[in-house]
Structure 1
Amino acid sequence: MTCDQKPELFDNGDELPSNHSANPHISELIAGLKRRQVVAAGAAVGALGFLGTALPGSAQATDLKPIAKKVAEAIKRRRERLGFQAVPVTRADTISVPAGYRAKAFIPWGTPLCGRYPAFLEDGSNSAQDQAEQIGMHHDGMHFFPIDGSRGYGKRSDHGLLVLNHEYIEPGMLHRNGPSVSNGKRTSADEVKKEINAHGVSVVEVRRDARGEWNLAPSARNRRITGATPMRIAGPARGHALMRTRYSPEGHAARGTLNNCANGFTPWGTYLTCEENWAGYFATRDSELPRELSRYGVRGTSRYGWDTVPGDEFERFDLTRKGADARDDYRNEANQFGWIVEIDPFNPDATPVKRTALGRFAHEGLVFAPARPGKRVVCYSGDDSQNEYIYKFVSKGRYIPGMSNGRLLDEGTLYVARFEAGNRGRWLALDIRDENFRRACAAAGVSFADQGEVLINTRLAADIVGATKMDRPEWGAINPDTGDVYFTLTNNSSRTQPDPANPRAANPYGHIIRWREASSDHAGNLFAWDIYQFAGPEGEGKGPKGKPLTAANIYASPDGLWFDEDGRLWIQTDMSGSQLAAGPFGNNQMLISDPKTGETKRFLVGPVGAEVTGITATPDFRTLFVNIQHPGEGSTPGDLRSVWPDGAGKRPRSATVVITREDGKRLL
């Protein structure tokens, strides 16, 4: 959708660009580097050091033969790290995995989960209450918590809690005959409640039986968190005047979590769900919008029209000023969204908490640096919109295994990244107590009353300090072998200026950036960066060390990102539109890339119209869980564009895929 298009009812929810600052774009920095430096690891980083390679310090001539033998053996072992035949590109309406593996659909949308365990009705006639007791729609970020891991130390691989969030809905598939609308207004309150209940998070207790099959276990831990679940607000924005609403006059409570995309998990054993493109759920008739709405892309009409239904539970999506005070209406309701939400999966009675110190934007996941006893906690998140930024949070308190909890995320410093020429970068504090931040605010003529207001306006604060505009920062992952941080930059249709390092107008294919922190604990202000991969077709795409992408690994629009414990990088794609319907890439896919060898192979291809997303594994690495979102996207009851996973004539359903080896051994 282009910038001058108006959002339509029930569109796909991608956020329109709202960053109109003059901050530099990452492409300007890439343009200043030689292509050889970027692809093969920039000189400032040092190719050998960045790829984890070391040279012998004082080898004598007589030592060369044994050293060469050891190197040859090491290379052979590394080559076996991706010991499978690459899956070819395909547009088949199924899951394709390498020979020797099997993939089975599990817990699709509508699976009975809790309460009355209502069965899924193929004709779409399940009620709102049914949906509140079933798996939600459009699976996304996911994590497996071993059943003995309530403190973050679990080792069980046959029994655990699989926790996944649900990004958005397709009303055309959710209801019997699509949504009921008259004169632009929704006419069924139960349909709207059902849509709200299809959002959020599912906590699913799962067990692996003696045959290796996974099953949902009826349990008191099974739980749905929806777009209406009561939540607590914590951190600097708690109680702020801009968080007060008719529902919560003190600004301490919120209702629900929406448009949850990627996820995170804490060292203390809790799940983090990330609110992404939430702005489109709200509408306003006010002609003048405050910065905390306009900078986030709130428009006059909403995506699903929930605000058009009478009743307080729906009126909250109408941000129009109606009373003398914010406590008389819902002008501030949208300020309660755009946060990271912490959920304790082991306690079904625990109230989810919105952790405001982590900033308010279109969060695409949260990834933690390795937590070390006695050290500060460090985590990273991307703002998934065109020309937005990458952030880092450093806690004030120190991590204590077995004792730390979410309060560690309520105090600390939020930083935003500036990627500089020469492969250097720095983290800029968004803290009202920081002298440089106050100086930047003064120079821009912008003021904030307190740190709570800074965080409610995180994007504006990042504009002011001069952060680097990025090509839609999505998932992040940290290499367990080196500590290097990797982020996907999925694409950017609004960038029109090509450059030598990325000579593709509008960057339709995307790339993966990485950096190494100057401080070993990740808490410092400086880093060195380079480009790990350029996605694209043969002849344009470049892998690690400048290797051209081939038929075995071409891809576009990298999105999901995850490192396994052996240091292999799993890459998931989210192509859409013409890129998905035609061209060389086929359906969306998942690849594995080895930073040690530079080898990349395609491991999985999804069904028609689906995004491949969400990934987690059991501790024994015998089971991989992957999410398949919106198969047959855009389907209606009369036009099924996919029939995965249930087969001919059945509505397509998002589902988790369980991947195992046929011989029952470790995946790789």
Structure 2
Amino acid sequence: MNKPNDLAISATDLNDIDSNASHDNHFNSILNARLSRRTWLRGSAVTAATAVMGSMGLSACGGGSDAAAVTPTPTPTPEKLLAFTAVPKSLADVVSVPAGYTATALYALGDSLRAATPAYKNDGSDTDFDNRAGDHHDGMEYYGLSAAGAPLASGAERGLLAMNHEATTDEKLSSHFLHVNGGTTSLPRPAAEVDKEVAVHGLSVVEVKKTGSAWATVNDSAFNRRVTPLTDIELAGPVRSNALVVTKYSPTGTKTRGTINNCGTGKSPWGSYLSGEENWAGYFTRSATDNAARGDKSVVSLNRYGRSQGGASRHGWETGGSDDKYARWNLSKIGASTNGSDDYRNELNGMGYIVEMDPYDKTKAIRKRTALGRYAHESAAFSVPAVGQQLAVYMGDDSRNEYIYKFVSTAVWAAADANPADRMATGDKYLDSGKLYVAKLAADGTGQWIELAMSNAQIQAYSAYKFADLADVLVNARLAADAVGATKMDRPEWCSVNPANGEIYYTLTNNSNRTVNPSGSSQLAPDSANPRAYTDMKGSSAQNGNPNGHIIRFKEGTGAAAATSFTWDVYLFGAESGADASKINLSNLTADQDFSSPDGLAFSPYTGICWIQTDDGAYTDVTNCMMLAAIPGKVGDGAKSTLNYATAAGGNLAVDTFIGKKPTADTLKRFLVGPVGSEITGISETPDGKTMFINIQHPGENTSLANIGDPSKYTSQWPANAGYGAGKRPRSATIVITKNDGGRIGS
């Protein structure tokens, strides 16, 4: 998330740089295999989180029958999901929702969490971001409170929003909307600018409360907090105290300083908050001579994670001054020690994990759960808990040609742990001991979970990198996945588990490096799980590869969450409705359903609706990013299809894939369209299903730094143009959505 579409990557933004040069199986040897049998389930649904307030510049579009029909008897007819009228595509600088719904801005960049912090001026002069909302609101979860303010899972009118603040809106080095004149775009960077930019990253917790029909944040709540890249965080699990995480800040390798580039989230069965560290490598730099200074296998690791020597950092924070808080952004080996205790050569090994926090209790240490592996994490989705069975956590590595993972706990689920006395201790129980697996998909619609462990002969024999122990495998999970021949995917983003049947859905947002005739190590031919390679025109510009993305889903085999085999198919292919149905619009999407670059994804535990959010650059000449509501079936409810491609040698490449049942107007429709330049992300809702919260990230992100002094040239002025807050600079913000008749969202 918070990245340019990978069809056009900036030179200094490492978010989407492909560092996977391994030669793993891409299905090229099994493209013509045929699926022998499938099984499917029917009707379920997914959730999106949204909530209420007023009507701040958010327009209602379309129409729909929202009234619940009542029979002459006391028994009402069943609730009809997706009864709203689809919202049309839009390029307007507003948030559009269906008729009968209201969406209102609630919590935006710079909003104060403490009464002593002044209201946000939104002119670049604001400070004290340790006590304000951070930037680029991303993944988010809701935690209920009782009327008296005690933790209460069922609390639907008072609660906490815990969320990620992924990044900033950048041009060159500067986060330009944060600074009066746009900021300094040359090195060295001023300390004051660096301090502000660092502080807007991380996490926040804010109390929200409903009064009448309106929601508002609670300033000075005892629960309100910020977590930044300077906050102490413990390392937990097998990597704790390992030599790979020894730094000047933590010579014992037991902690790290902060969390960065937090993207997707998860909510544990015991009520904690999980945050994924995604594109963290680009914030750091290495000298042009660092490889020789190191002279060891750490060079292989750094290159595999996208941090080659001489590479410029995203913001130049290492130039802010001589203080240690700036030095930590330089990964170069500059100290004399043999273990890294006098510099930050190992600092990168402390980034890239799932972070767990108790949103209710500030006294509990935040922990990075290293057993879940280190890569560009998005969300963390739990299997449906079953007493006496192990838990699985499903995850993806969001970069082109990376992998899908799951972690299986050693401990089996105990019902008492749903409401524990100590949430973080329960996290220790389930997340610090277990097995990490990576997915290998076959062309016949089956797949295997391959364990990443020192006992795996392929890992022992891997010549490109010699693993020392389990901690080394986890720190270098990408290299371990290379070693076992995992399947390279089209940028695995969020994942979610269907509560109706336990099936797992992954968004594969796009991949510009799919081509029928690969000419480089980063280019892949289409395969069964990533079967499209085509040209999509955006005006006069050709976008090649898989510009529109797709959603894949898995069904576990014998063993439930601990299964080592699965079956799979493609639930939906993103596409323009008018695209060729035989090669591109394989899901036969209509104008009320078409979308591009799926990213955020969550099933509602209350309605079963599957909410799909987009972070797109391919279709934005036609529509801003959006959120759709879906009622999916199950793996195997569709059919096999064969795509034929002409090769450079004049032959034919036949690619078999498996496509889910085509959606109808009753099973998939557009629910929301966002402002100009925004990504739609973060899904959470109250336990009664009547309030949804979502995040609008980086509206106006393509505004030029040269235009910072002229609001008329901003590509977006949202949410100021909706009447929210001071100034006209665009701001990432949380919105709350409610249904005007008081019903559940999505009905």
Normalising by the residue count of structure 1, what TM-score does the alignment of the two structures yield?
A: 0.88
The SS at the match of 1:313 is: helix
Decide which of 311, 314, 317 is 2:326's aligned counterpart: 314
1:30 and 1:185 map into 2 onto residues whose CA distance is 53
Which deviates further from its counterpart, 13-22 or 483-492?
A: 13-22
Counterpart residue number, 1:390: 404
Counterpart residue number, 1:405: 426
Question: Are 1:513 and 2:540 matched, yes or no?
Answer: no
- Equivalent AA in structure 2 for residue 159 of structure 1: R
Would you say the 8 A contact 2:290–2:333 is kept in 1? Answer: no
Counterpart residue number, 2:306: 297
- Equivalent AA in structure 1 for residue 109 of structure 2: W
1:31 and 1:574 map into 2 onto residues whose CA distance is 30
Q: What aligned pairs does 1:185-584 form with structure 2 within 5 A after superposition?
A: 185-186=188-189, 188-285=190-287, 286-288=289-291, 290-299=299-308, 300-310=311-321, 311-325=323-337, 326-400=340-414, 401=417, 402-403=419-420, 405-407=426-428, 408-432=430-454, 434=455, 437-442=456-461, 444=463, 446-497=465-516, 499=526, 501-504=531-534, 505-519=544-558, 521-540=560-579, 547-565=587-605, 566-576=607-617, 579-582=618-621, 584=622
Decide which of 653, 662, 665 is 2:740's aligned counterpart: 662
2:112 and 2:31 map into 1 onto residues whose CA distance is 52
2:669 and 2:162 map into 1 onto residues whose CA distance is 28
1:233 and 1:305 map into 2 onto residues whose CA distance is 26
Counterpart residue number, 2:123: 123
Q: Go from structure 1 to structure 2 and tell me whether the alpha carbon gap of 1:52 and 1:253 turns closer, same or farther (over 3 Å shift).
A: closer
| Deviation of 1:51 (Å) | 6.5
The SS at the match of 2:560 is: coil
| Deviation of 1:52 (Å) | 7.8
Would you say the 8 A contact 2:138–2:681 is kept in 1? Answer: yes
Which deviates further from its counterpart, 157-166 or 147-156?
A: 147-156
Deviations 1:372-408 (A, max 9, x none): 2332121111000000000000011122223461102
Percent identity over paired residues:
44
| Deviation of 1:30 (Å) | 9.1
Would you say the 8 A contact 1:105–1:656 is kept in 2? Answer: yes
- Equivalent AA in structure 1 for residue 721 of structure 2: G
Which stretches in structure 1 are left out of the alignment for 5+ residues?
Answer: 35-41, 54-76
Would you say the 8 A contact 2:690–2:744 is kept in 1? Answer: yes
Q: Go from structure 1 to structure 2 and tell me whether the alpha carbon gap of 1:3 and 1:642 turns closer, same or farther (over 3 Å shift).
A: closer
- Equivalent AA in structure 2 for residue 110 of structure 1: G
Decide which of 585, 594, 598 is 2:631's aligned counterpart: 594
- Equivalent AA in structure 1 for residue 333 of structure 2: R
- Equivalent AA in structure 2 for residue 97 of structure 1: V
**Structure whose residues are more often helix by fraction:** 1
1:454 and 1:486 map into 2 onto residues whose CA distance is 26
1:152 and 1:207 map into 2 onto residues whose CA distance is 14
Q: Go from structure 1 to structure 2 and tell me whether the alpha carbon gap of 1:324 and 1:5 turns closer, same or farther (over 3 Å shift).
A: farther
Which stretches in structure 2 are left out of the alignment for 5+ residues?
Answer: 46-76, 170-174, 292-297, 517-524, 535-543, 634-660
Would you say the 8 A contact 1:45–1:530 is kept in 2? Answer: no
| Deviation of 1:154 (Å) | 0.8
Deviations 1:156-192 (A, max 9, x none): 100111111011012110111122244x321x21211
| Deviation of 1:539 (Å) | 4.1
Count of aligned pairs between the two proteins: 623
Counterpart residue number, 1:147: 145
Higher relative contact order (CA 8 A, sep 6+): 2
Decide which of 130, 133, 136 is 1:132's aligned counterpart: 130
The SS at the match of 1:82 is: coil
Which deviates further from its counterpart, 473-482 or 172-181?
A: 172-181
Would you say the 8 A contact 1:316–1:333 is kept in 2? Answer: yes
Would you say the 8 A contact 1:31–1:502 is kept in 2? Answer: no
1:450 and 1:151 map into 2 onto residues whose CA distance is 43
| Deviation of 1:429 (Å) | 0.4
Would you say the 8 A contact 1:539–1:548 is kept in 2? Answer: no
Q: Go from structure 1 to structure 2 and tell me whether the alpha carbon gap of 1:51 and 1:210 turns closer, same or farther (over 3 Å shift).
A: closer
- Equivalent AA in structure 2 for residue 641 of structure 1: T
Q: Go from structure 1 to structure 2 and tell me whether the alpha carbon gap of 1:653 and 1:385 turns closer, same or farther (over 3 Å shift).
A: same
| Deviation of 1:517 (Å) | 0.1
The SS at the match of 1:512 is: strand
2:504 and 2:344 map into 1 onto residues whose CA distance is 39
Would you say the 8 A contact 1:200–1:259 is kept in 2? Answer: yes
1:625 and 1:177 map into 2 onto residues whose CA distance is 33
1:547 and 1:134 map into 2 onto residues whose CA distance is 43
Counterpart residue number, 1:178: 182
The SS at the match of 2:688 is: coil
Which deviates further from its counterpart, 367-376 or 140-149?
A: 140-149
What root-mean-square deviation, in Å, do the aligned CA atoms of Structure 1 and Structure 2 show? 2.7
- Equivalent AA in structure 1 for residue 480 of structure 2: A
Which deviates further from its counterpart, 384-393 or 439-448?
A: 439-448
Q: Go from structure 1 to structure 2 and tell me whether the alpha carbon gap of 1:31 and 1:656 turns closer, same or farther (over 3 Å shift).
A: farther
Deviations 1:418-450 (A, max 9, x none): 001210100000011x3xx13443154642111
The SS at the match of 2:545 is: coil
Counterpart residue number, 1:63: none
- Equivalent AA in structure 2 for residue 308 of structure 1: T
- Equivalent AA in structure 2 for residue 336 of structure 1: G
| Deviation of 1:518 (Å) | 0.6
